[in-house]
Homo-oligomer: A and B are copies of this chain.
Amino acid sequence: MDGIEELRTAVCAANQALVRHGLVLCTWGNVSGIRRDAGLVAIKPSGLPYSELTPERIVVTDLSGQVVAGRLRPSSDLHTHLALYRAFPQIGGVAHSHSHYATAFAQACRALPCLGTTHADHFCGTVPVTRALRDHELAADYERNTGAVIAELFADRDPLAVPGALVAHHGPFTWGPSPAAAVTNSVVLEAVARLALDTWQLNRTAAAIDPALLDCHYQRKHGPEAYYGQRQDQ
């Protein structure tokens, strides 16, 4: 299992970053990562306190969810992560938490429009909210169906341009090229959700910004001629 120990180490660190960024209470969050070449996913074990996580305690499964390494049970949300890896071949990591503001949006069943450049710098447009699961989707394969309703939202969206979604009545899932990037997207989603809530306290009718401003900010950070940050050769 070449490279799997590096993946477990990265996944362990990304789970602990959830705590450092104030996104989790109790054990309410989990991060995973994937090795596409090996067809293996590494994920937090279920219910284990973050302070007891070590790379060896990270569970490794195949894409059907069979455990191939680790002595503990995987996160109960494993099958949501797996559904996202199958739906979004571009991604390398997934993060889930019940972070306060993003969860409030999810509970309110409200999508998060782009109200300013902070949002535009990271999410190229609205962060969508899923439909509610139907009763038969709750009754069997609940976690896999949670992934499926997220994937539905990206039929006409690029999951790397909008690297997250809100699951109705539940909370946020984010993703990215790596487990660490998935966590950063959770951090940013939480910040822009909080900004949106207070923006609406000040102006009930605040709406999505001019697409030209959205594009201007997103492209200066992520476009082919991006000039934010340092060149790789420096």
Contact = CB atoms under 8 A, between A and B. Distances in A.
Interface residues of A, number: 63
Number of chain copies forming the complex: 4
A138 B213 contact: yes
B101 A107 contact: no
A86 interface: no
Nearest to A101: B198
Contacts of A199: 104, 107-108
B108 A170 contact: no
A115, A201, A202: residue with the most chain B Cβ atoms closer than 10 Å: A202
A25 B193 CA distance: 14
Contacts of A201: 104, 197, 200-201
A63 B203 CA distance: 38
A154 to B, nearest CB: 22
Interface stretch (A12-20, A35-43, A174-182, A224-232): A224-232
A26, A107, A227, A231: residue with the most chain B Cβ atoms closer than 10 Å: A107
Contact of A100 (B184, B198, B200, B234): B198
B116 A169 contact: yes
A26 B187 contact: yes
A50 to B, nearest CB: 14
Contacts of A197: 198, 201-202
Interface stretch (A1-9, A71-79, A155-163): A71-79
